[in-house]
Structures are given as structure tokens and as C-alpha cells.
């Protein structure tokens, strides 16, 4: 009898705990019980960039982003007096304010299938981007996931880009060198819309981070643009 009573008390305690948890955290987890919302979210999450081809990315790049500054030059122009520090981290992107430190995957193919596979491994250093220290633009793509989404693969990398503000640092670690960037602007645009270049110096090395917005949805894009710190 004592064992049965103990089991009943334990069951009641568990039910009360679960009910309390649901009530307290309802605003954060209510979406889990919305079948249509979850199915749409899953579809958008696993196929967040259904039209992410070379042509669809044009609006995120500066004109001639991967070409030398002057006709006839064989190599890209390098920014003078670039400030770097030594690091043993390889091919990583760091955003200290967000607690992000993730692998950078140098994609060689712009097909949707190839990019989707690379996004499972880290953030994508998009083909055609210049390297840190070269005049031009670096475009990096990353997944964003909604609040409460399991931290699977690298799904969470860009979930909190909206928290970045002008002056916040971003670091690229490459070839034992750490390059520091400072955020200049943040923009939310409709998918496929042009991104404003106001206030940015396109003659410098500029880093553009791109993800879906809101997190887990495919309605819009959030872009964060930062400039290389050279001194």
C-alpha cells in the first residue's frame, strides 16, 4: 500500500510540475503545440534558401565584388596597414557579444543542395567573396533558429544577429591571423530586396552576415555589415 501511495504522490507531483512549467514558459513554447506553425517552421528551416543561387545573391554584393579594382590587375588590391593578431584558431567566425564561435565553410558550389550541406557544418564563406585584408566584400551565410529550437548542427549560429549594434566586434580567424571587424549597420529586408549601402565605404574590406528573418522563417533577410579594423 505504501508503495502504491508513493507512486500516486509521485505522479501527482510530476503532473503539477509539468503544468507549472507549461504555464510559466507558455509564451516561449506555445508554438510547439501549433501543428501548422511547426510544420511550416520545419519546412522553412531545412530549406531556408530555396532560391539561393549565384544570381539571387547579387543584391547582397557590391558591383564587381570579386574583381581587381583596376582593369588589368592580376591580383585583388590589399588594404594597407591591416591590424591582425596571431591565433591558433582556423577558419572560424567569432561574435563575442552573441557567444558565437563557429566554423567557416568555404563553399565551392552555389547550388542549393551544396549550400544546404555546408550550412549543416558551419557558416558559409560565400563563393566570390574576397579574403580579409583585400578591398571588396565578404559575404557569410548562416542558419537562424527560433527560441527553444534544439541546438542541433550549427542551426543557431545567426539566431541573434538582431542584437548586434554599431561598434560591436566580429572576428575572422584565418591562416593563423585574427581579423577584427566593427559593425556599421544592420538591415532587415524582404527576400530578394536590395540592401542599402548608405554609410559604408565600399573601398574597404567589408563583411556582410546574412540570415533568414525572423529566425526559422523564410520571409525576410537580416544583414549585418561590418568594416575591417585596419589600425
Coil, helix or strand at residue 17: helix
What does the alpha-carbon distance between residue 178 and residue 207 come to, in Å, rounded to a whole number?
Answer: 14
Superfamily of domain 34-228: Sortase (2.40.260.10)
Stronger pLDDT, 70 or 144, i.e. the higher one: 144
Nearest-CA neighbor of 112 among 218, 224, 223, 40? 218
What does the alpha-carbon distance between residue 59 and residue 102 come to, in Å, rounded to a whole number?
Answer: 25
Instruction: Look at residue 57 in the predicted model and tell me its pLDDT.
Output: 56
Question: Confidence band (pLDDT; 50, 70, 90) for 136?
Answer: confident
Instruction: Look at residue 149 in the predicted model and tell me its pLDDT.
Output: 66
Plot region of 128 (φ>0 → left; ψ -120 to 50 → alpha; else → beta): left
Strand stretches in 120-219, DSSP E: 123-125, 136-141, 169-174, 177-190, 205-213
Given a cut of 80, whether residue 22 has pLDDT beyond it is no
For 162-199, the pLDDT digits (tens) are 999 999 999 999 989 999 999 999 988 776 655 656 66
Residue 151: DSSP 8-state: -
For 48-67, the pLDDT digits (tens) are 554 444 445 555 555 444 44
Number of H helices, E strands in the chain: 4, 9
Amino acid at each position: 500500500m505504501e508503495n502504491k501511495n508513493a507512486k500516486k504522490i509521485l505522479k501527482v507531483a510530476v503532473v503539477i510540475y509539468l503544468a507549472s512549467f507549461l504555464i510559466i514558459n507558455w509564451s516561449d513554447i506555445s508554438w510547439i503545440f501549433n501543428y501548422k506553425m511547426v510544420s511550416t517552421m520545419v519546412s522553412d528551416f531545412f530549406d531556408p534558401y530555396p532560391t539561393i543561387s549565384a544570381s539571387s545573391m547579387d543584391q547582397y554584393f557590391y558591383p564587381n565584388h570579386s574583381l581587381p579594382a583596376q582593369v588589368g590587375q592580376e591580383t585583388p588590391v590589399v588594404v594597407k596597414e591591416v591590424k591582425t593578431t596571431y591565433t591558433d584558431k582556423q577558419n572560424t567566425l567569432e561574435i563575442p557579444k552573441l557567444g558565437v564561435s563557429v566554423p567557416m565553410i568555404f563553399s565551392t558550389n552555389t547550388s542549393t543542395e551544396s549550400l544546404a550541406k555546408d550550412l549543416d557544418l558551419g557558416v558559409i564563406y560565400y563563393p566570390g567573396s574576397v579574403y580579409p585584408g583585400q578591398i571588396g566584400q565578404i559575404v557569410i551565410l548562416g542558419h537562424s533558429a527560433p527560441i527553444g529550437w534544439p541546438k542541433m548542427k550549427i542551426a543557431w549560429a545567426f539566431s541573434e544577429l538582431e542584437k548586434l549594434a554599431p561598434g560591436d566586434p566580429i572576428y575572422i580567424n584565418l591562416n593563423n591571423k585574427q581579423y577584427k571587424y566593427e559593425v556599421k549597420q544592420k538591415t532587415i529586408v524582404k527576400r530578394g530586396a536590395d540592401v542599402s549601402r548608405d554609410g559604408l565605404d565600399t573601398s574597404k574590406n567589408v563583411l556582410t552576415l546574412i540570415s533568414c528573418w525572423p529566425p526559422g522563417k523564410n520571409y525576410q533577410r537580416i544583414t549585418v555589415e561590418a568594416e575591417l579594423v585596419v589600425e
